Chain A
Amino acid sequence: MSPSRRLAVRKTYKLYVGGAFARSESGRHDPVLDHEGSHVANITRASRKDARDAVKAARKAQPGWAGKTAYNRGQVLYRAAEALESRGAELADLSARVRGADGAAEVAAAVDTLVHYAGWTDKLGAVLGGVNPVAAPFLSFSMPEPTGVVGVVAPEEPPLLGLIGAIAPALAAGNTVVAICSERWPLAGLDLGEVLAVSDVPAGVVNLLAGRRAELAPALGAHRDLNAIVDASGDPALGGELERLAAETVKRVLRIREPDGEATAREDSLRRLEALTELKTAWHPIGA
């Protein structure tokens, strides 16, 4: 049989929740169209219930992820960079076909962003923490800890780099993540789930949802068991709404107002990392 006559096997795009690829409990779908309006694929359209399930999975995974050594978390993130690089050509091709955009540059920047944050895990303590020269016989030191479970609203564009620029700081700091992929271009984000699933990222550490942002983002923003939300939507109205919702449980809010460019997620790293950490100060007596 000639190659041209072979029928391609298409991929079913699913959500990535708790380490499993699953359809929405709602059974709904959305078609994904390419930049010329042609049908490319269907995605399963996540519901508010899916978002709640994802938060539950993230909460369950959080102590284990935070409990890994910083070195180990760095190795895992670096592994994710390796895995993403190895699928770079395919993702770049997808981006070119579907979005008509230069996918290669975006994928390269996404990989480099992961490498950058892989190098942050074991440096946060030195950069954000320290020993406090208190005026009493105590050893007092402050150390950053992850804030917990972080909700992420990815920007519409660039769909892969924008998503990674929002989740990588959360992961590097020891948080687990529930992210809503780009609504217009969800495929790259969903593909990222396949990359993370083979990168020793434990199940539940990253959960990826696709669907309608207007439906999912407020559900995340209002969730009472979420510690922080990263709004990278670039939509000021949505950002304001998320901040209001966050106030109910004093969630930390990190706004990424401009879409990430090639290096912005790296240049902005300390602000992002700090927003997603708590600082704990411990006191210990010196002497009797």
Chain B
Amino acid sequence: MTAPLERTRVRWDYSPAPESADHVRLRDAYGVFVGGEFADPRSGTSAPTVNPATEEPLAEIAVAGAEDIAHAVSTARAAQEKWAALPALERGKYLFRIARLMQERARELAVVETMDGGKPIRESRDIDIPLAAAHFFHYAGWADKLSYGLAGRDARPLGVVVQIVPWNFPLLMAAWKLAPALACGNAAILKPAETTPLTALLLAEICQEAELPPGVVSILPGDRATGAALVRAEGIDKVAFTGSTAVGKDIQAALAGTDVELTLELGGKSANIIFEDAAIDQAVEGIVQGIFFNQGHVCCAGSRLLVQESVAEAVEAKLWERMQKLRLGDPLDKNTDVGAVNSGEQLERIETLVAAGEEEGAVRRTVSCELPERGHWFAPTMFTEVSPVHRIAVEEIFGPVVSLLTFRTQAEAIEKANNSKYGLAAGIWTDKGGKAFEVAAALQAGVVWQNTYNHFDPTAAFGGYKESGFGREGGAAGLRPYVRVR
């Protein structure tokens, strides 16, 4: 026998692969976008938007106040009648233009989304921006086919719709809101999130480039007070809100007793259920995709991992091993899996809940990795020994934190999954189709993924049960929140 070969240890590491931002041309300041033009806010105030990975300001952003809101509503009202009176195909053609312009400016939008929000460029480039354009493309095609999507009924637009979107998928959520509203003939006033206004303001430029009639889309950046005033504004016909359950409840209460229509897409504490007959390696990938996608800043994140006891040890070991391979760091690096936490405020919320998890007796494991010196970061974290009453099993953490619970039987899995005030999404991992559909039917969740997780498509309705909100976005169902069917 020959002697074993002397082998040199080679360390296969990643070199930095930053996406260049040199083609991005941001203005120093952005005003409010009303009547097809940018203007200084009548309120006169502004605030910087900051890159959460570097804590450096990117641009100064208007904070819209009461006068801006009143102006936007009257402008939208005047524009809406003409917009609704256009031949439906022509409305659709404007939306096709917007879709195309978004595709053309995709790289710029992706880089800005990542700089403003902290999400990995791989995600903004491959998911957020292409899906946002696809959403416009899909609803562009609905504009002249509304009755086909509404059981053959005649549909009228609601009028002026207020749309408030969150900071986790800034442009994608703006597209989910604007595209169906415009296709149905409404005029929209969109408020982007305080920490991520930039891509919505670039979308305002795109509306200009598309020569969208002025007033059909207004973009009012601002803070919580702006949002609170906007949903209470005189003369609006509808509010569509995506964000936290707490704010959603406030809006629902504020609109009580009025004729303003409402749809809400709120928080979640979604169960990702792993049965013993699942393909475990695939399931582990699905768990990772379910909870660490976008740093866990995902309303439908699979944050409650329910694993059948017989495979719990194996799943836990494989998941922990896989978690160590996640690369946390510069969101603009094309190899980054976990980017920056969106804001200091959100980081605090994650840290508070994680501390509560430890105090209440769950076992915490956090991936040991180097965190950048500046910016807001939280390393991927797993809790085991979690009881269903622990805060980390009940409350939405909205961060890269997964709570592992176990179950013995299918009935127990269903009971645990449904034991939540939320009902946004769920995942089911099993090789048995009959079981998958049986469990799916029993789950109180608006979206159920089988052997996959966090898939989105413009044709597929999305929205929640229970305190995760009401109303659907996507597909024909996504038209109904924006029309009055006769």
Contacts and interface: CB of A to CB of B under 8 A. Distances in A.
A123 interface: yes
A115 interface: yes
Given A74-B137, A125-B459, A126-B149, A284 B437 contact: yes
Contacts of A3: none
Interface residues of B, number: 25
Contact of B137 (A71, A120, A269, A270): A71
A288 B3 CA distance: 57
Interface string A33-72: 0000000000000000000000000000000000000110
A119 B141 CA distance: 4
B141 A74 contact: yes
Contacts of B4: none
Contacts of B142: 119, 123
Given A285-B437, A286-B434, A122 B145 contact: no
A123 B141 contact: yes
Given A112-B89, A116-B89, A284 B138 contact: no
Nearest to A126: B476
A127 interface: yes
Given A119-B142, A123-B148, A126-B149, A285 B475 contact: no
Contacts of B141: 74, 118-123
A116 B143 CA distance: 9
Contacts of A123: 141-142, 145, 148-149, 459, 476
A126 B89 contact: no
A139 interface: yes
Interface in A206-256: none
Contacts of B458: 71, 122
B435 interface: yes
B283 to A, nearest CB: 21
B435 A115 contact: no
A272 interface: no
B144 A119 contact: yes
B359 interface: no
B176 interface: no
Given A74-B137, A75-B137, A123-B149, A287 B434 contact: yes
Dominant SS among interface residues on chain B = helix
B438 interface: yes
Interface string A102-123: 0000000000100110111111
Interface in B445-486: 458-459, 475-476
A266 interface: yes
A95 B327 CA distance: 61
A114 B459 CA distance: 20
A285 B433 contact: yes
A266 B441 contact: no
A78 B134 CA distance: 13
B134 A284 contact: no
Nearest to B138: A122
Contacts of B96: 78, 115, 118
Contacts, number: 72
Contact of B144 (A74, A266, A285): A266
Nearest to B144: A116
A71 B138 contact: yes
B302 to A, nearest CB: 23
A288 B141 CA distance: 40
Contacts of B143: 119
A284 B434 contact: yes
Q: Which of A75, A115, A119, A288 has the most CB of B within 10 A?
A: A119
Contact of B438 (A118, A127, A286): A286
Contact of B134 (A71, A116, A119, A139): A71
Given A74-B141, A115-B93, A119-B92, A126 B459 contact: yes
A266 B92 CA distance: 13
A115 B92 contact: yes
A286 B93 CA distance: 43
B149 A127 contact: yes
A284 B435 CA distance: 11
B240 interface: no
Contacts of B287: none
B287 to A, nearest CB: 25
B38 to A, nearest CB: 29
A118 B89 CA distance: 12
Contact of B475 (A116, A126, A269, A284): A126
Contacts of A78: 96, 137
Contacts of B148: 123, 127, 270
Contacts of B149: 123, 126-127
B97 to A, nearest CB: 10
Contacts of A137: 438
B140 interface: yes
A45 B48 CA distance: 69
Contacts of A74: 137, 141
Interface string A248-288: 00000000000000000010011000000000000011111
Nearest to A125: B459
A175 B218 CA distance: 41
A91 B475 CA distance: 36
Contacts of A270: 148
A134 to B, nearest CB: 13
A119 B149 CA distance: 12
A139 B438 CA distance: 9
Interface in B418-455: 433-435, 437-438, 441
Given A123-B148, A284-B433, A288-B434, 9 more contacts: A78-B137, A115-B89, A115-B96, A116-B89, A118-B96, A119-B140, A127-B149, A285-B433, A286-B438
Ordered nearest first, which 5 A-B pairs have the shortest CB separation? Answer: A119-B141, A285-B434, A286-B437, A287-B438, A126-B476
Interface of A: 70-71, 74-75, 78, 112, 115-116, 118-123, 125-127, 137, 139, 266, 269-270, 284-288
20 contacts: A71-B138, A78-B96, A115-B93, A116-B89, A119-B142, A119-B145, A122-B141, A123-B145, A123-B148, A127-B148, A137-B438, A139-B437, A266-B89, A266-B144, A270-B148, A284-B434, A285-B433, A286-B437, A286-B438, A287-B437
